[in-house]
Each structure stands twice: as C-alpha cells, then as structure tokens.
Structure 1
C-alpha cells in the first residue's frame, strides 16, 4: 500500500513538473494568458535623437520601419518647428491598440494607433515629462512630469488632462499593480518612491530610495514585488508591493543601471536589468534574488520588455542603435536588429495588429540609421579595455555626441575634449564639462561636426577625443584617450 501511495505521489510530481507555470507577463497580472510570439506582435522603441519610434516584427526579428514624430537637429531649432523633440518614454493601453509616446523636449504625449501606425492625438503637459502608462482598466493615462512635482492624469479615451497628483519633486516613472489598486511612482530628484491609490489619487505609502535618481520601475505579474533602478549609484531596489511597502533588497547591479522588467517561463519569474556601463543585462530570480545570468548585449543597454509569452526579452542598445532579442530559457542573444538613434524605452505589444500587414504609415530608417562609434580607454594602459563608448548620431552636417562614461573617480569634475595627439598631449579644446555620479560614471552630450574632426583624413586637421580631469576652464591630467577610429 505504501509503495502504491509513493508511486501515485511520484506520478503526480512528474505531471506537475510537466505543466509549466507560465501565464502572465508584465505589465499584466499572473492570471493573464500567455500570447505566443507571432507576426501580429510588435516591438516598439522610442529613439530620442532621430525622434522616431521604430516598429519591429518579432516573428522575423526584422525592422518594418519607423514612425517619424519629428526632425533631427538643426531643423528642430526653428521657432516654427511643430514636431516632437527627444522621443523618450513609452507605454501602451491594456487592449494593446494604443501607444503613448512621451517626448521630453516638446512636453508631449503622442498617442499612436498600433494597427495603422497613425498618430491619433497629441497632448501637451508640463515641463519635461518622462514616462506615460495606462491604468490597468484603461480609463486613465498617468504621465510623470519629471521637470515638476506632479503626475498628470489624462482621460484614457479623449487624452485630455483631467487632474494632477502631487508627488515628490521630479517623478521619474509610474507603473501599476496588476490588479489596478496602486500606482508606484519613483523619483529622479528626490530619494523617495510613493504609492498612490488609483481610485482616490492619494498617496498611501512611501518607500525610501537609496539614491535620488530612479529612471525606471516595474511590478511583478503576481503583484508581490516592485523593482526600481537607481542609475546614479548603480543599484536596483526591491520592495513589497503591498502595505506597508517594506524594502526587501537592494542589489548592486553596476554603473548606469537603466531599466528593469520581468519574464515568466518554465523555470520561474526573473528580473532582467540593463546595465549601461557594463554593456550587460543581469538576470535575477525574484524568489531569492540570486543572480543567475550575465548577458553581454552591446553598447549602453537601456529599455527592456518581455514578449507576450515570456520566451524573449527585447533590449534597446542606446549607443549601438540596435534592438537585441534574448531567449529567456538560454539567456543568449538570438537576434540584433538595426533601429533608430539612441533607443530609450522599449515595449513589446502582443497582438498589436489584429489584421493586415500593419505596415501603413511607416517610413524607411534613412538618416535615423546613420551613426559612428568610438571608444575611449584609460590613458597609458598597456592593454586598454574600453571604458567609455561614444556614438556620433548623424543629424545631417552635424552630429549629436553621446558618451557612456565609466571607470572614473566618483563625484569628480571632468571635461570631454579634443586633443591634437592620440595620447592626449598638448592643448585641449573642451566639448563638454561634467561631474561623475557616485558610481564614477556619466552620460555626456555635445553637438557639432565632430565626426568630420575625429575621422579627418589629414593628420594635420584630425583631433582625438579625450577625457581630462578638472573643468573646461582648467583641464588637468588626461584620464582616458580615444582607442578606436
């Protein structure tokens, strides 16, 4: 009899093991059905220097085209310019029919039809909004107005602003509990995340942040945890999604920690964290917070989102102008797709196109795909390892330079400059002064005909990028030099 019972229990265990616990991918709840990858799905990336939204078919991992929301520099300097500037944040409606795209420089939220790629409406909000997302019932769109101290609440149908929720200065991003009860709003200027009752628009909880700079926040599909990234100190923080919202863990993830999201598969639920300074995605279990994988992906990984069945996550590579697809069972990159300039937020929308090809109103990549890439390493290193990646995003005759700087002393002033010699010797021409964050990292920008200078054919006119200690007025010792042409 005992042997029979053991056999029954063993068989039951095998049957349970054979049934994967899958359903529910972020931002939906654990009870939501998985949606297998198909050519009805779309992966979108918001690209801040080409002012485009790229549209990718995950069934083929091919770029279908871009939705052009604005022009590059210098056209967008005109006082008569009417397009969007710094296309950056992105969310989507629960019915998967509408994208909400935030443009920081033009203080706007653009609503796009996923089936036709057509702009339905543009709402202008307060200074420097950062992210927008629909509530789980679709009735409202919450927009973090990072340049001010409130969340703008828009009607989910008319897209008109209906109210504002006061929050600590500099709200970075909001996400909702899958049941729609709470909105979690982290801050980019204040070391505090607040929890807001969605029904009452009232703060009901406060969570201390380990630093003031949180750009991204996500909630697990089972509604038990909230993860947020702290970009300035290279950490990721986890707190209980339910009252009293206690901090559960703070994890050192690395310099320029950008975004976090989740994938549920047969092996469990995992948090995927993009770490720009290391050019990696780190993978953690959500049950015991152990790190299970480190995935090299390319230059400056930023936004990340899971497929509708959790079999993949897609990552925008900000300094590589590409989208990387990762298999979540093997934790390996299975595809790299060229997209627009400096992708920021990424979203994967299952069944975004209910019928037809879904290619209407898309344009070729064009100028948005033109970028040059450089590297800087420690000055005088015998076997230099690239510490800083540099992208020169073409804007016609000029470029926007973006440097993902790492490997420097924390909280110190430096200057990005041009030198006349490869080793950085001689007079320097400053391009941009900056101060490193507590992780010894920084994102540095400059504008000008820089590619023509650093790639000049004539040795007498060519200059080299360097990073020096000190200020633009008084540069000191050279810390990093250009090591790639």
Structure 2
C-alpha cells in the first residue's frame, strides 16, 4: 500500500498541465491528475448498491445501499430501489445520478457526503441518465418506452419529454453541448437531437437494434456506440451529416465503450463480455492496438481525469479492474458489490473531508461462486449470494445463433440423465446470451453428498422438449468470501 501511495504522490508532483483526457469534458478543459479526492463508482444491480472506490489507493471505501437483495425486494411493501443499473454525473462533479431499472427511478447522490439528495420517478425501465454539459438538465433514457425524460438539473423534476425511436438505450452529449446522441436498444436507429430546440436533426442507421452504450470523443469529432446483440461497434461523424465512418467486429456481448486521451493519442476502449477482454482501438484509423484480459464479463468503463487510467466494472466477477492506459496492463483489482453495470469516474468528487460518511461495509454482497460450462462454446456463470438464495447470471457464448436453449441442472457430472430446467433462452445473432435464474443453486451444485449434488448444463430446445447437453459444468473456477 505504501508503495502505491508514494507512486501516486510522485505522479502528482510531476504532472504537467494538459488538455482534458476524460469524457464528457471537452478537450480544452484542464486534465485532472488522480488524487484521493477522486471517486470511482459502480452501480451494482444484484446487491442494489453503489460501490465507492478511492482510485488513488485503489481500494473500496464502502457502498451506498439504495435497496435490499432478493428476496426482500419481492415484498409488495418494498420501498427501496431495484436493479440499480445506470450512472451519470453533474459537470460540477458534486452530484451522482443513479438509475434503477426495476423501480423506474433516478437517485441523486451528493458525492462529498454519499447522501441521497432526491429521487425522481420516471417512465418504465429507464436505463441511463446524463447531465447536459451546462448542468441545467438531466436527460433520462426511458428504455421501456419511447422518450427521453428531461429533468431540471437543480430540483430534478421532469420538465419535458422528447419522443425518440422505441427503446432509447442511452444519451451522450457533444462536448460543446449542442447535440444529444441517443442510441436505441429496440430500434435500429440512433438519433441526433439539438439540445436547445429538443428537435431531432439527424438519424444514423444502427446495424442491429440493440445498442446499450454510446460515447462521444472529447475532440467533438466522433461518436462510438456498441451493438450487444451482434458483437460490433459503430462509429459516426459527430457533426452533420452524421454519416457512418466504420463498423468494427468486436465480439459477442460487446457491452460498453469509452474514450481515452493520453500522450499516445486518442483511443476507444471496448468491453467484450464473453471474451473477458477490453479491446483498444485508435480513433484515427480504427485499428485495434491492444487486447487486455480483465475478468469475467467486463461491462462499464470510465477513464480517470487525466486519461492515465481506465476503470472497468467486472460484471460476473464483482470487482473493478484498473488499467494503466500507457501500458494497457491491469494494475489493480478491487472487490465491489454484485453485478456492476454502469460506472462513473468523478475527479475531485470530495473537495474536503474523508468522504466516508453514509458508507456501509460490503457484507454478504462480497460472496459469490464462479463456474464455467464447456463443450460447444464456453459459458461463465456467477452465483451472487443473497443469503439463503443466489441470483444466477450466465454469460453464454459459442452456441448456434438465434436458437432455443435451456439452462438446467443435470443428475450426473457428464450431463447425462434427466434434466431440471432453470431458464429457457434464445441466443442472439452472435450465438450468445445473458441468462438469469434464482434459487438455492449454490447449495445444490456444491452439495457435500454426491447423491444430492447436481450439475449445471446447457441443452438445445425448450423447457418442455430438449436434446442432450452441449455445455457441461467444469470445475468451480473460484469462490468469493464475505468481505471483512
């Protein structure tokens, strides 16, 4: 730890003035070297927490509990947030906006005190929320419907709605604030909205309907968006005529993209879920320049204020990977809450004090079991401990595209014998899928009595009619322990 602190102090002392190396700020803004005033946040959808990390020491400070784990959140009297998922922050770096899909809410948190300031309820299944660059408005992508909910940036009440193609996945703004770029998760079209008039001024064809994430470069020239269902990233001109520049094959379950500027240039970092990779592309010629192994199912990622690091939420590993962007090597891993989705790095989030108020220990959310299924393709499974039961999430890959399968429990380790289906799913065009189930599954797959033990498998077909398994559970990859 002392070596980390001394290294960080030396870096701060040698840092020279530079242009901004972090989106969503314009490149003309000053860069902000990493300090213990910065915070990195993850939205943890299974523990319903926000994990708070000090990036200077690369350690978890605690979590902000917005809700309860399952089954407590199934009660008709439940009042907490559910499926904590999306994340954005105010340009003055004092407010964190956290979207909860299951409770249709945006929670606004004071970054210095970790205290909830306000909660606004919007339409069905919001996904992401971002402040406009001037801080006057917050645009919430209401993915379960067909509009952007515009909230006042100060009192957080809804003041307008902007109709967009069905299923808006996310909005990101041009650095100058002139345009909002809105991709879709249900319609094959991204739209460009003039923020002042709130009118659509451009349309960009998506190669597929499912875009979960979008990023604009600090130089204001490009917009990158991911296509999770086909494993691609598309890039278009951030200015009229908003023409497509390229589409890149990245890999099954391509999750998020973000932009890094450093002494080597400007790069797009892309998380590829089924490959456990972050892939790095130059924004000048779109060539891939690096491939970084991180952990099970990388999801959201965001650079530090000087572009020297990028932090990645590892969805099925319940951790954050810190990457040195000059070497493209992982330099730290930090345990966090369960199933991180959206993330945010806020330079100077805590202007004074220790920033530890209202934080709680990780607790039971620090426990997990990691499994692998092998055979035709490969799948990764995490059992997120909720107490007596677990939330299961499988990152499935290598199967036939657009085909029906079941995740099931088998009687024998080789997958033979009768099956007990847990979930039925259909693979996407890349032959991949994200599959969820719940129950006392850890107790079954780790049963001490061999006669009682069952084994996870994937078989073609439906819950009623299925063939022999094509993927079978291998040895348990790792097991997490409750954080102390």
1:324 lines up with 2:315 in the alignment:
no
Does the 8 A contact of 1:42 with 1:56 survive in 2? yes
**Superposed displacement of residue 193, structure 1:** 0.1
Q: How does 1:182-331 map to 2 (within 5 A)?
A: 182-331=179-328
Counterpart position of 2:448: 457
Rounded Cα–Cα distance in structure 2 between residues aligned with 1:458 and 1:420: 13
1:77 lines up with 2:83 in the alignment:
no
Rounded Cα–Cα distance in structure 2 between residues aligned with 1:236 and 1:340: 28
1:430 lines up with 2:421 in the alignment:
yes
Counterpart position of 1:62: 59
Counterpart position of 1:8: none
Among 145, 159, 171, the alignment partner of 2:168 is 171
Task: Mark the runs of 5 or more structure 1 residues left unpaired by the alignment.
Answer: 1-18, 380-385
Task: Mark the runs of 5 or more structure 2 residues left unpaired by the alignment.
Answer: 1-15, 477-484
1:176-214 CA distances to partner (integer Å, 9 max, x unpaired)? 000000000000000000000100111000000000000
Does the 8 A contact of 2:17 with 2:30 survive in 1? no
Does the 8 A contact of 1:91 with 1:101 survive in 2? yes
Rounded Cα–Cα distance in structure 2 between residues aligned with 1:137 and 1:326: 30
Counterpart position of 2:118: 121
**Superposed displacement of residue 440, structure 1:** 0.5
Rounded Cα–Cα distance in structure 2 between residues aligned with 1:193 and 1:130: 15
Does the 8 A contact of 1:24 with 1:31 survive in 2? no
Counterpart position of 2:5: none
Does the 8 A contact of 2:19 with 2:29 survive in 1? no
1:474 lines up with 2:471 in the alignment:
no
Does the 8 A contact of 1:52 with 1:67 survive in 2? yes
Does the 8 A contact of 1:378 with 1:479 survive in 2? yes
1:440 lines up with 2:437 in the alignment:
no
Aligned Cα RMSD in Å? 1.1
**Superposed displacement of residue 21, structure 1:** 6.6
Number of corresponding residues = 462
Among 393, 413, 417, the alignment partner of 2:384 is 393
SS in 2 for 1:335: strand
Does the 8 A contact of 1:41 with 1:351 survive in 2? yes
**Superposed displacement of residue 22, structure 1:** 4.3
4+ runs of 1 displaced by more than 3 Å? 19-22
Rounded Cα–Cα distance in structure 1 between residues aligned with 2:54 and 2:22: 19
Rounded Cα–Cα distance in structure 1 between residues aligned with 2:288 and 2:127: 29
SS in 1 for 2:468: strand
Counterpart position of 2:12: none
**Superposed displacement of residue 23, structure 1:** 2.8
Counterpart position of 2:36: 39
In our comparison, the structure showing a higher alpha carbon Rg is 1
Does the 8 A contact of 2:21 with 2:262 survive in 1? no
Does the 8 A contact of 2:41 with 2:343 survive in 1? yes
Rounded Cα–Cα distance in structure 2 between residues aligned with 1:20 and 1:94: 20
1:281-329 CA distances to partner (integer Å, 9 max, x unpaired)? 0000001101000000010000000000000000000000000000000
Question: Taking structure 1 as the reference length, what is the TM-score of the superposition?
Answer: 0.94
1:345 lines up with 2:342 in the alignment:
yes
Does the 8 A contact of 1:145 with 1:151 survive in 2? yes
1:151 lines up with 2:142 in the alignment:
no
Counterpart position of 1:133: 130
**Superposed displacement of residue 20, structure 1:** 9.4
Question: Taking structure 2 as the reference length, what is the TM-score of the superposition?
Answer: 0.94
Rounded Cα–Cα distance in structure 1 between residues aligned with 2:92 and 2:231: 35
**Superposed displacement of residue 368, structure 1:** 1.3
Does the 8 A contact of 1:21 with 1:265 survive in 2? no
1:390-445 CA distances to partner (integer Å, 9 max, x unpaired)? 00011111110000000111111000000011110010000000000000000000
1:352-405 CA distances to partner (integer Å, 9 max, x unpaired)? 0000000000000001111111110006xxxxxx81110001111111000000
